[in-house]
Amino acid sequence: MKSLKRILITRYTALVAAVLVILSLLVIIPIRSYTLSRESRDLKVQARLFAGHAESYFRQGMSMEEIDDHLEALASHLPVRLTLVDAEGRVLGDSEYPAERMENHADRPEVAAALRGEVSSARRESRTLGERFIYAAAPVEVDGEIVGAARVSVQEEDVMPVILRVWWIFLAAFGLLLLVIVGTSLWTERTVMGELGELRDAVTSMAGGELEGWVTAPRIADFSELAESFNVMAREVRKRVEELESERKKLEAILENVSTGILVADGENRVLLLNPAAEAILGVRLEKARGRRLAEVFAGTEVEEAVRLSAAGEKVEREMELLYPRRMTLHLKSQPVVGADGKVYATVSTLEDVTLLRRVDRIRQDFVANVSHELRTPVATVRALVESLLGGALERRETAERFLRDLGRETSRLSQLVEDLLALSRLEGGETVLRVEEFDLRELVEERLEGKAKLAAEYGVEMDAATCGDLRVAADRRLLATLLDNLLDNAVKYNRPGGRVSVGCRREGGALVLEVRDTGVGMPSEELPRIFERFYRIDRARSRETGGTGLGLSIVKHIVELHGGSVSVESEPGEGSAFYVRLPQPVEGDSKAGSPG
């Protein structure tokens, strides 16, 4: 076993060494890169200055020996090496090496760039001196023409002392830190071991049976808390037992109130637990089922088979149709509880009645099928008309006009269908927000009657609002206008020539009653419960002729329900129909409405 002292010293030493390596990578390398980069920038500045000075050498036509002497004298005051190259790359002078013994420098990257008119730098090994240099070169121009390149360079070794000094500072700082940490570790080890020795002796005494003994409070606050916790251990155990009992009661309350059924069985499929939701789904009480096999208390075999597979070690998830204790769609998930030895000791199953969800799914599927069916006919008609027109019918004026009228009617029907679908989708999806305002209902009725006047004239139907008196109401004016439009459309289109449509409005108890009555074809009583369903039509042929979408009355129903009201219908075949819309809480204090029609 390792001692605390050894652990502290070893770990802290490893930590300091790791930090030293990481900081070396994070600090020394960036410092080196920065130093070399800054040196390159400084050399570029010096190269420009040197190029301006070297212009006079070319104007005076100095020889290599003279240039060498000038450069050597100039570099003696500077910590850099100076080199002058002509436009062909020949070295004209160098401050540290005879120019006539140096090879052509046209292929040096910094010289090549300078001869192109650029100020450039490079870091590489000098082929002349065999050492690494930092170079910078600038073009030398005479009367606007580049006649050579002025190069300034310095050995990389001259820059390294700065970096090395930083490195030694780091080493010294971390060495000092290491000494401090080692000393602190030894001091901490002695203090901690002294306090732990007292605690160890007290615990040994209590383990020997001295349960009434107390641990004296150590000087270290953390150990003082440990001693106090040890002294109250017996009381804490008792307290934990009470808390576990409380948690058990909470779990029982959760199981009783959760809406999902929970069934727990042992490895032999004997029932251990049923919450109230599971009792309701399976139709059996826990008192009757506990300790008995599932097949003995529940007639259906589907649930028993799924739980049996789970007891065999499988995770089961199924959706099944049950007829007992009632017809339902049940979603079951069962999972085994496996012990450390790999044996299944119990199974936990969740039971959820998804009958309503599946019914909603079927309604959604029916809706999609109905929409597809409703769109198929007008789209096919439009396509056939367009193909006929393109196939030559366009050349025959009367035929073309008839086809275009049919095309207009079908596109209008498509447009109305899309608008109705969007309106119904917003209403059913809860996206429509009531904008309640107070307005004159008779004014709205007359406005909508005027809007349907052309349609009524086309069908030879008269409309009036004689039985609608002055009445102010608080409702969503826009939605109420849509409701009236749909009711009036049906009343006109399913009327007979010379027929009549009348609109009445009145107060009846605590509700506003809006009545739309027609003298049309009427409807059989057995059809009335379904007329507010989407796409439901009694006479599909006539509905298609009139451009109906089968959504109008469904929209009416949703608008009324959004206002918290109700809608009903009375009708007899050949006697016409009457729709009654009841909206709650009309504005009080208005004048009385006219008598109902």
- Tell me which of 200-209, 244-253, 524-533 is least confident: 200-209
Q: How confident is the model at residue 460 (pLDDT cuts 50, 70, 90)?
A: very high
Which residue matches tokens 């058990």?
Answer: 248
**CA 597 to CA 586: how far, in whole Å?**
20
Q: Of 73-82, 248-257, 421-430, give the lowest mean pLDDT range.
A: 421-430
Query: What pLDDT was estimated at residue 463?
Result: 92
Check residues 132 and 334 and name the one with the higher pLDDT. 334
Instruction: Identify how many contiguous H helices and E strands the chain contains and give both numbers.
Output: 18, 17
Please give the average per-residue pLDDT across 239-259, as a whole number.
77
Does the pLDDT at position 188 exceed 70? yes
579 pLDDT band, cuts 50/70/90, is very high
Buried b (16+ CB within 10 A) or exposed e, 337-366: eeeeeeebebbbbbbbbebeeeeeeeeeee
Provide the pairing of β-strand 462-468 with 500-508.
parallel
Catalogue all structural domains in the chain, each as residue range(s) with its CATH number: 4-161 (3.30.450.20), 256-353 (3.30.450.20), 358-426 (1.10.287.130), 433-584 (3.30.565.10)
pLDDT band at 518 (very low <50, low <70, confident <90, very high): very high
> pTM of the full predicted structure?
0.40
pLDDT at 597 over 70: no
Q: Residue 591 pLDDT > 50, yes or no? A: no
Over 90: is that where the pLDDT of 462 sits? yes
Kindly state the tokens that stand for 461.
């139907």
- pLDDT at residue 596 tops 50: no
Q: Per residue in 81-130, pLDDT tens?
A: 899 999 898 988 988 888 888 888 888 898 899 889 899 888 888 777 77
Q: Confidence class of residue 36 from pLDDT cuts 50, 70 and 90?
A: confident
Give me the mean pLDDT over the 229-252 stretch.
Answer: 69
Q: How confident is the model at residue 502 (pLDDT cuts 50, 70, 90)?
A: very high
Band the pLDDT of 581: cuts 50, 70, 90. Answer: very high
- CA separation, residue 226 to residues 5, 199, 474 (Å): 22, 9, 72
Owner of token pair 């929970």: 262
pLDDT value of residue 221: 65
The C-alpha atoms of residue 272 and residue 48 are separated, in whole angstroms, by 93
The answer, yes or no, to whether residue 540 has pLDDT greater than 60, is: no
pLDDT tens-digit series, residues 438-459: 888 888 999 989 988 998 998 9
Is it the case that residue 548 has pLDDT exceeding 60? no
Q: For 387-471, where are the E strands, in sequence order?
A: 436-440, 462-468
pLDDT range class, residue 195, cuts 50, 70, 90:
low
CA–CA separation, 144 and 319 (whole Å): 90
The mean-pLDDT minimum among 191-195, 505-509, 539-543, 567-571 falls in 539-543
Backbone angles phi, psi at 218, to 5 degrees: -70, 170
- Confidence label for 66 from pLDDT (cuts 50, 70 and 90): confident
CA angle 73, 79, 84 (to 5 degrees): 55
Q: What is the mean pLDDT of the chain?
A: 78
Confidence at residue 366, expressed as pLDDT on a 0 to 100 scale: 55
Q: What are phi and psi of 549, to 5 degrees?
A: -105, -10
Q: Where are the beta strands (DSSP E) in 399-510?
A: 436-440, 462-468, 472-476, 500-508
- Residue 374 pLDDT: 58
Kindly report the CA angle at 298 between 297 and 304, in degrees rounded to 5? 110
Specify the pLDDT at position 535: 65
pLDDT tens across 379-430, in order? 777 777 777 777 777 677 777 777 777 777 667 666 666 666 666 666 666 6
90-104, 187-201, 440-454, 512-526: which range is least confident on average?
187-201
**Whole-number pLDDT of residue 538:** 63
Q: What is the pLDDT of residues 469-485, one digit of tens each?
A: 778 888 888 889 888 98
Mean pLDDT of 121-147: 85
pLDDT over threshold 70, residue 186: yes
Q: How many CB atoms lie within 10 A of CB 538?
A: 17
Q: Are 565 and 582 in contact (CB under 8 A)?
A: yes
Residue 153 has pLDDT above 60, yes or no: yes
- The model's confidence at residue 163, banded by pLDDT at 50, 70 and 90, is low
Q: What is the mean pLDDT of residues 258-274?
A: 87
Which range is least confidently modeled, 163-172, 445-454, 458-467? 163-172
Return d(Cα 432, Cα 476) in angstroms, integer: 11
- As a whole number of angstroms, the distance between CA 590 and CA 506 comes to 11
- The residue ranking higher by pLDDT, 182 or 479, is 479
pLDDT at residue 461 is higher than 90:
yes
Question: Can you give the pLDDT at residue 430?
Answer: 65
**Which of the two residues, 199 and 104, has the higher pLDDT score?**
104
pLDDT in tens, 291-325: 888 888 887 788 888 888 888 888 999 888 887 77
Instruction: State residue 333's pLDDT score.
Output: 92
**Bridge partners for 455 per DSSP:** none
Residue 144 pLDDT exceeds 70: yes
pLDDT at 541 over 50: no
pLDDT score of 588 more than 60 = no
Please name the amino acid found at residue 70: H
At residue 547 the predicted structure's pLDDT band, cuts being 50, 70 and 90, is very low
CA distance 437 to 21: 76
Question: What confidence score (pLDDT) does residue 12 get?
Answer: 72
**And the tokens for 278?**
């599971």
With a cut of 80, say whether residue 549 has pLDDT above it: no
Rounded to an integer, the average pLDDT of 160-177 is 72
| pLDDT above 70 for 168 | yes
Average the pLDDT over 495-513 and give the result. Answer: 88
Per-residue pLDDT at 148: 92
